[in-house]
Amino acid sequence: MNKDVVYIEPEDDITDIITKIENSKEKIVALVPPKKASVFRSIVNIKLIAKAGATAGKTVVLVTNDPSIEKLAAVAKLPITKDLKTAPTIPEAESEEVEETTSKEDLIEKSESGEVVAEESADESSENTEIEPTEDKGDSSGSPADESDSEDDKESKTDTKAKKSSKEPKNPFLKWVASHKLIVGLSSGGALLLILLMIWAFVIAPSVIVTIGIRTTKNNFSENITFTETLTDENSAEGKFYLIEKKIESKSEIEFTATGKKNRGEKATGSVIVYLYFNAPGSVKIGEGTTFTNNNLAYKADKDTSLIWDGNNSSCENNNVILNGKIQCLISERVQVTAAEPGKDYNIEATSANWSTSAGVAVYSDEAMTGGTDDIIIVVQQSDIDNALKEISSSNESENKTKLYNTIDNDVIVIESSFSQKVGDPVSVPGVGEEVKDDKKAKLTVVTTDSVFAIDRTKVEEFISNKAKLSENYKIYEINDPFIENFVKSDNGYSGKLKTSYVSGPKVTENDVINLIRGKGLGTAQHDLNSVEGISKITIDTSYPWVSSIPNDPEKISIIINVEE
Residues 533 and 405 in one domain: yes
Q: Across the beta sheet with 240-242, what order do the strands follow? A: 240-242, 217-228, 493-506, 474-490
Domain boundary (142, 169, 196) is at 169
Residue type (1 letter), 489: K
pLDDT at 147: 44
pLDDT tens, position by position, 319-378: 666 666 677 888 899 999 999 999 999 999 999 999 999 999 999 999 999 999 999 999
**For residue 122, what pLDDT is reported?**
37
**390 and 322 inside one domain:** no
Q: Considering Cα of 510, then 512, then 514, then 516, what sign does the dihedral take?
A: negative
Mark whether 321 and 222 lie in a shared domain.
no
**CA distance linking residue 385 with residue 444, whole number of Å:** 7
Q: In the prediction, which pLDDT does 107 show?
A: 38
CA-based nearest residue to 203, from 556, 539, 518, 516: 556
> What per-residue confidence (pLDDT) applies to 342?
95
| Degrees, nearest 5: CA angle 22-27-29 | 65
Of 374, 397, 414, at which residue does a domain stop?
A: 374
pLDDT, position 176: 67
Q: What is the DSSP letter of 254?
A: E
Same structural domain, 382 and 521: yes
Alpha-carbon distance of 40 to 162, in angstroms, equals 35
End-to-end CA distance of the chain: 54
CA–CA dist 425, 194 (Å, integer): 82
CA distance 236 to 457: 11
Q: Are residues 367 and 389 in the same domain?
A: no
Q: Indicate if 390 and 369 belong to the same structural domain.
A: no
User: Do 367 and 440 lie in a common domain?
Assistant: no
Q: Judge whether 124 lies within some domain.
A: no
User: Is the pTM here over 0.75, yes or no?
Assistant: no
| Judgement on whether residues 13 and 68 belong to the same structural domain of the protein | yes
d(CA 173, CA 313): 169
Q: Which pLDDT does position 184 carry in this prediction?
A: 61
Domain count within the chain: 4
Which alpha helices (DSSP H) does 348-496 contain, by range?
Answer: 382-406, 457-468
Which residues does the chain have with pLDDT short of 50? 95-152, 154-158, 160-166
Strand ranges inside 47-111, DSSP E: 59-63, 80-81
Structural domain includes residue 120: no
- Predicted local confidence at residue 290, as pLDDT: 96
Q: In terms of domains, do 443 and 563 share one? A: yes
Residue 282 belongs to domain spanning: 265-374
Q: What is the distance between the alpha carbons of residues 357 and 316, in angstroms, rounded to a whole number?
A: 23
> How far, rounded to the nearest angstrom, does the alpha carbon of residue 409 sit from its chain's CA centroid?
11
Separation between Cα atoms, residue 403 and residue 447, nearest integer Å? 15
74 part of a folded domain: yes
374: left (phi > 0), else alpha (psi -120 to 50), else beta? beta
- Hey, is 230 helix, strand or coil? coil
Residue 183 lies in a domain: no
Residue 191 inside a domain? The answer is: no
pLDDT digits over 390-432, tens only?
888 777 778 888 889 999 999 999 999 999 888 888 899 999 9
Please check whether residues 274 and 392 belong to one and the same domain: no
Q: What is the model's pLDDT at position 528? A: 87
Q: Provide the pLDDT for residue 100.
A: 40
Task: Kindly state whether residue 217 falls inside one of the protein's structural domains.
Answer: yes
For 98-117, letters b (16+ CB in 10 Å) and e give beebbbbbbbbbeeeeebeb
φ and ψ at residue 38, rounded to 5 degrees: -65, -25
Q: What pLDDT is attached to residue 207? A: 86
What's the confidence (pLDDT) of residue 168? 54
Q: Does residue 126 form part of some domain? A: no
- Whether residues 327 and 471 share a domain: the answer is no
Q: Minimal CA–CA distance to 282: which of 334, 336, 329?
A: 329
Contacts of 342 (CB under 8 A, 6+ apart): 263, 264, 265, 266, 267, 372, 373, 374, 375
189 domain residue, yes or no: no
pLDDT of residue 110: 38
Task: Single out the residue in 139, 154, 169 at which a domain terminates.
Answer: 169
**Are both 226 and 330 inside the same structural domain?**
no
